[in-house]
């Protein structure tokens, strides 16, 4: 009997929703299952039996985000032996944060698309294209990359300021970087809560619209 690949993709999405939007924080079990699921999904999406649609593009980008988890595992050995300015623990933490933020936003994009397909199928069809999905995925990655860059700069300036107290312009840069990083963390926290609420509402609406 031929395997239903769409069921596999739906199970993967359910796993990712639990990992990032239900659990307060990922644990070793959910992280390992997420990595295995992402590896299987990336292989599955290469199959000709899976149609290339906007949803598949978003799911592919979601699976690719788990590469950041793997990089966080090896950052300790790489940065520790190279004498990098940023501590291995800080780099690993930022990579894991980037993975979480990319995954949460892409999962929300999938939820919005499911809402559009359910309630606005004809009106949203011109927007639900592979090209738009790729642009959206790249935009999400670009924003999270900018967030990581700011946090890395803050870590670097904070480390240099702690080792040698700065004055004048360098001290002002350290303060500005610290304030910007704190505001960014607060904004990310608020957005994370909003995304959880919005996703629950979307799937609540979809579930009851499909119930008899």
pLDDT band at 163 (very low <50, low <70, confident <90, very high): low
Core vs surface per residue 104-139: b (16+ CB within 10 A) or e: bbbbbbbbbbbbbeeeeeeeeeeebeeeebeebbee
CA angle 159, 79, 103 (to 5 degrees): 90
- Any idea how long the chain is? 212
The predicted pLDDT at position 110 comes to 95
Pair 58, 93: CB distance under 8 Å: no
Distance CA 31, CA 25 (A): 10
Confidence at residue 52, expressed as pLDDT on a 0 to 100 scale: 79
Helical H segments across the chain, by residue range: 5-17, 28-44, 54-64, 67-82, 88-119, 121-124, 130-163, 168-210
Q: What is the pLDDT of residue 61?
A: 96
Q: Residues with Cβ < 8 Å from 69, sequence gap 6 or more? A: 31, 34, 35, 95, 96, 99
Q: What is the mean pLDDT of residues 93-118?
A: 93
Residue that the structure tokens 């000709």 belong to: 48
Report how far residue 197's alpha carbon sits from residue 201's, in angstroms, rounded to the nearest whole number: 6
Kindly report the average pLDDT of the chain as a whole number: 85
Q: Answer whether residue 138 shows pLDDT above 60.
A: yes
CA 185 vs CA 20, 26, 89, 100, 148: distances in Å: 17, 18, 17, 13, 11
Q: Per the structure block, which two tokens stand in for 100?
A: 């979480």
Is the pLDDT reported for residue 107 higher than 60?
yes
Query: What per-residue confidence (pLDDT) applies to 173?
Result: 73
- Tell me what pLDDT residue 195 has: 92
DSSP letter at 84?
-
pTM of the model: 0.88
Residues 156-182: what's their mean pLDDT? 70
The arithmetic mean of pLDDT across residues 184-196, rounded, is 91
pLDDT value, residue 3: 57
Token pair listed for 192: 């994370």
Residue 2 has pLDDT above 50, yes or no: no
- The percent of residues in the chain predicted with pLDDT above 70, rounded, is 86
How confident is the model at residue 21, as a pLDDT?
86
Using the predicted structure, report yes or no on whether residue 96 has a pLDDT greater than 70: yes
Query: What does the pLDDT average to over 39-49?
Result: 87
pLDDT at 1 over 50: no
Mean local confidence (pLDDT), 88-95: 85
**Is the four-CA dihedral 11, 16, 22, 27 of positive or negative sign?**
positive
User: Between the CA of residue 34 and those of 19, 39, 110, what are the distances in Å?
Assistant: 8, 9, 17
Does residue 105 have a pLDDT over 90?
yes
């Amino acid at each position: 009997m031929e395997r239903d690949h769409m069921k596999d993709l739906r199970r993967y999405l359910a796993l990712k929703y639990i990992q990032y939007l239900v659990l307060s924080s990922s644990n070793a079990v959910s992280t390992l299952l997420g990595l295995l699921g992402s590896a299987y999904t990336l292989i599955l999406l290469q199959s000709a039996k899976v149609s290339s649609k906007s949803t598949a593009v978003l799911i592919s980008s979601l699976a690719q985000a788990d590469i950041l988890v793997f990089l966080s595992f090896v950052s300790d050995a790489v940065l520790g032996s190279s004498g990098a300015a940023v501590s291995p623990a800080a780099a690993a933490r930022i990579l894991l944060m980037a993975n979480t933020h990319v995954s949460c936003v892409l999962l929300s994009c999938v939820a919005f698309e499911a809402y559009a397909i359910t309630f606005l199928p004809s009106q949203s069809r011109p927007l639900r294209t592979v090209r738009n999905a790729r642009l959206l995925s790249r935009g999400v990655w670009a924003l999270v990359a900018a967030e990581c860059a700011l946090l890395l700069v803050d870590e670097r300036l904070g480390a240099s300021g702690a080792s040698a107290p700065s004055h004048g312009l360098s001290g002002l840069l350290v303060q500005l970087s610290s304030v910007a990083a704190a505001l960014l963390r607060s904004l990310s926290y608020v957005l994370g809560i909003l995304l959880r609420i919005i996703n629950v509402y979307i799937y609540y609406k979809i579930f009851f619209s499909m119930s008899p």
